[in-house]
Amino acid sequence: MVSAQVNRPLQGVIWMLATGLCFVVVNGVVRHLGTALPAAQSAFIRFVWGLLFLLPVLVRVLRQGLPASAWALFGLRGALHVAAVVLWFYAMARITVAEATAIGYLNPIVVTLGAALLLGEGFAWRRMAAIVVAIVGALIVLRPGLRELGSGHLSQLGAALCFGTSYLVAKRLTTLAPPAAVVAILSGTVTIGLAPLAWWVWVPVTLEQALWLGAVAVFATAGHYCMTRAFSCAPMTVTQPVTFLQLVWAALLGATLFHEAIDPYVLLGGGLIIAAISYMTYREARLRRGVTPASPQTKS
């Protein structure tokens, strides 16, 4: 019998389209705020809003209790996410929306490499070829040596590395705690971790800035919800290629609202990264269904 997930590909695509729109709005709002607030302070205020939304879940999780072995991993993931969001907020205020979006696509590549190196998932040649294609795509976006790379580009690369590593820790945590606990405790640990950094650089905040950062929290939460719904409706082989439209929308947003030039190299490089991710997703789906040819030369 075909699963319900496979029977709703159109709904999965629609949910993934909504996911992309939500994340483009998040990027646009942070780009709009610019450098008026320090990155750590902006990130802290955004996560305070998110913590308010998740506080009932967090209280319930803490009352139920968690394995003692999970808390060290929660702390590690919180530290990685603190670094990631500070770097991301810093980058978003300094590079184009399209560049930030394209470089952000490297997160799954970091996860794949980390899974092979740290979780023993193996280095099949097709997977490695896809990673090489993604790296080529990143080089096309950045074009080192052909143009000057600013601190924003390097910060976004650092954010991709930290986010990817954080997701690896999250994968381990899902074996120790329910998903709701993983999400809620992340919000709490990141808020706590950002607090001293925000206090160190704190500047006066207007009500408008605070509300804009609240909107970031709302759309980021909505984006993750839409993504979850997309994955429940259709296989990732159907929904993953749709994420390329997020880069197109980001380029259009940057051009219309922030007068950023549309860079064809950013679109090309981002497209290569998405193609690599989509191929890896497709291969993993085939392996899970057990339809990969038996010959060792064809395994990925």
Please report the pLDDT score of residue 49 as a whole number: 93
- 119 versus 43: the higher-pLDDT residue is 43
**pLDDT for position 249:** 86
- pLDDT number for residue 236: 64
Residue 141 and residue 269 in contact, taking contact as beta carbons nearer than 8 Å: yes
Task: Tell me the mean pLDDT in the region 117-134.
Answer: 74
| Statement: residue 1 has pLDDT above 60 | no
d(CA 265, CA 142): 9
Phi, psi dihedral angles at 121 (to 5 degrees): -85, 0
* 29 phi and psi angles, rounded to 5 deg: -65, -45
Contact between 293 and 117 (Cβ < 8 Å): no
- In angstroms, rounded to a whole number, what is the distance separating the alpha carbons of residues 162 and 74? 14
How remote is the C-alpha of 12 from its chain's centroid? 19
pLDDT tens-digit readout, 25-36:
999 999 999 889
Task: Confirm if 112 and 127 have CB atoms less than 8 A apart.
Answer: yes
Is pLDDT at 123 greater than 80 in this prediction?
A: no
Least confident of 175-179, 192-196, 271-275: 175-179
pLDDT band of 290, cuts 50, 70, 90:
low
Instruction: Note whether 212 and 29 are within 8 A (CB).
Output: yes
216, pLDDT greater than 70: yes
Which amino acid is residue 17, in one-letter code? Answer: L
Tokens coding 114: 């980390």
* More confident position, 217 or 239: 217
- Give me the phi and psi of 147, to 5 degrees please: -155, 165
252-to-24, 105, 269 alpha-carbon distances in Å: 10, 18, 16
Q: Residue type for 140, please?
A: I
Q: What is the pLDDT of residue 120?
A: 61
pLDDT at 285: 66
Q: What is the DSSP string of the chain?
A: ---TTTT-HHHHHHHHHHHHHHHHHHHHHHHHHTTSS-HHHHHHHHHHHHHHHHHHHHHHHHHH---HHHHHHHHHHHHHHHHHHHHHHHHHTTS-HHHHHHHHTTHHHHHHHHHHHHS-----HHHHHHHHHHHHHHHHHH-BTTB---HHHHHHHHHHHHHHHHHHHHHHHTTTS-HHHHHHHHHHHHHHHHHHHHHHH-----HHHHHHHHHHHHHHHHHHHHHHHHHHHS-HHHHGGGGHHHHHHHHHHHHHHS-PPP-HHHHHHHHHHHHHHHHHHHHHHHHHHT-S-SSGGG--
Residues 270, 248: Cα–Cα separation, whole Å: 10
pLDDT at 289: 64
Question: Residue 198: its pLDDT value, please?
Answer: 96
19 pLDDT higher than 60: yes
What's the start-to-end Cα distance of the chain, in Å?
27
pTM for the structure as a whole: 0.80
pLDDT tens column, 73-115:
999 999 999 999 999 999 998 889 889 989 988 887 887 777 7
